Amino acid sequence: MMNFDFTPEQEMLRSTVRKFVDKEIMPYIKEWDERGYFDPNIMKRLAELNLMGVCIPEEYGGAGMDYNSLAIVCEELERGDTAFRTAVSVHIGLNSLTLLQWGTEEQKQKYLVPQAKGEKIGAFGLTEPGAGSDVAAISTTAVRDGDYYILNGQKTWISLCDIADHFIVFAYTDKSKKHHGISAFIVERTMPGFSSKAIKGKLGIRAGNTGELFFDNVRVPKENLLGHEGEGFKIAMSALDNGRFTVAAGAVGLIMACLEASVKYCHERKTFGKEIGRHQLVQQMIANMEAGLQISRLLVYKAGYLKNQGKRNTRETSLAKWIACDFANKAADDAVQIHGAYGYSNEYPVERYLRNSKAPVIYEGTREIHTIMQAEYVLGYRKDKPLRKMLPAWNPESVKL
Ligand SMILES: Cc1cc2nc3c(=O)[nH]c(=O)nc-3n(C[C@H](O)[C@H](O)[C@H](O)COP(=O)(O)OP(=O)(O)OC[C@H]3O[C@@H](n4cnc5c(N)ncnc54)[C@H](O)[C@@H]3O)c2cc1C
């Protein structure tokens, strides 16, 4: 039997996050966006609500809810602003779930538990000035020296660069093996030789923190190698399966926000003697947003369902991420169109939605990369090989909220 119902716990979760966003983000976001200010208190408040580890098992400090509950949190947060959903995407999707999947018991106790409780913040450093889509082009290196690895290099476009306490960082331990020579490390901000710097002048997600990481002979204990040497590429790709899921869910939230603003304006604004919502071409934009919302949501929850079962979902997650982000970008464009000239000023939130909707079409696999992935799956050129470690299936016994 297929079941499209939310559980009472999921309904309660949605209502909690919605109230939080309405009270603690909506009244301030316009100013934060204008100032380019990331409010760290939002992460603290999310921790108080037990949401910084919403789908992390209770034994590791989380709320033990299912993976679609993570999607609900992301939808509702991005309804407020993409910056806070992005923060949750990197903290939970790219970092904490990667520790859950690949970490040793010691690494989980040391890093995952405080992250799930929201006492520490996690981020993810893959992209470099010369390497985005082409991950194997990274040039950061990690050279073994006794009980340490010495990291040198630079990352860029890293979300929470100045905020996070722990980073999962990818570096070559053996360049000659190409992507089989990349390894993953847990790096702490306090390790000597580490520094970060925010990027200014972003198109969108201005209320978020994004920037560069620098590694100048950073000595990382060998215990902080995540997975085996040479397993970094696989770890990065499996992390993206979870990050992309949260990005797709967030895009659903952005479409909700576009619809909310557009429907309200359609009833307020009159032209030619009637509400603009009565004009068929405006209705077409509203109908497209609704279709995008429903299609994207189904794709997201299907990916979440597979995660709950502990099944591989790279293909389904990529499709959800590609389609939802494209629909959100189009919905935001149409929301500005519906608002006419008023949509072009920050008197209304839709110009922020349009600016915010662009980065998700670029990060965690560009539109083009996901298009190629989907074609390759269909054509039989791409097959997912089994992983040494899978993301654990959801255990319904472990709910705590
Ligand atoms: C706001 C923001 C936050 C981010 N946060 C993080 C983060 O936390 N951690 C992190 O590691 N990274 C992060 N990124 C970086 C992001 O993941 C990369 O920007 C993304 O992977 C694309 O890489 P690139 O920008 O180098 O583009 P490129 O890879 O240089 O691509 C440029 C263009 O060429 C196209 N292209 C490339 N290869 C192909 C191909 N084979 N076929 C067809 N077209 C192709 C792309 O689709 C794109 O249109 C963030 C980016 C942004 C904007």
Q: Which pLDDT tens digit goes with each residue over 64-89?
A: 999 999 999 999 999 999 999 999 99
Mean pLDDT across the stretch 139-143?
Answer: 98
Instruction: Tell whether ligand 1 has an atom less than 6 A from the beta carbon of residue 133.
Output: yes
pLDDT, tens only, 241-288: 999 999 999 999 999 999 999 999 999 999 999 999 999 999 999 999
Mutate-to-test residue for ligand 1 from 362, 364, 367, 373, highest number of ligand atoms within 8 A of CB: 362
Q: What is the mean pLDDT of the chain?
A: 97
Which pLDDT value is given to residue 98? 98
Prediction pTM value: 0.98
pLDDT bracket for residue 401 (50, 70, 90)? low
Which pLDDT value is given to residue 2? 81
Instruction: Tell whether ligand 1 has an atom less than 6 A from the beta carbon of residue 205.
Output: yes
How many angstroms separate the alpha carbon of residue 258 from the centre of ligand 1?
25
**Which residues share a beta bridge with 148?**
145, 221
Which pLDDT value is given to residue 1? 74
Active site residue 364: yes
Runs of H (alpha helix) within 36-154: 41-48, 67-80, 82-88, 97-102, 105-107, 113-116
Alpha-carbon span 211 to 284, nearest angstrom: 39
CB contact at 8 A, 141 and 128? no
Q: Is pLDDT above 90 for 397?
A: no
Question: What distance, in Å, lies between the first and last C-alpha atoms of the chain?
Answer: 27
Q: Is pLDDT above 60 for 400?
A: no
Q: Which of 71, 83, 46, 80 is nearest to 248 (CA)?
A: 71
Q: Is pLDDT above 70 for 24?
A: yes
pLDDT bracket for residue 3 (50, 70, 90)? confident
Q: Is 298 exposed, middle or buried (0-12, 13-18, 19+ CB in 10 A)?
A: middle
Which pLDDT value is given to residue 50? 97
pLDDT, tens only, 292-329: 999 999 999 999 999 999 999 999 999 999 999 999 99
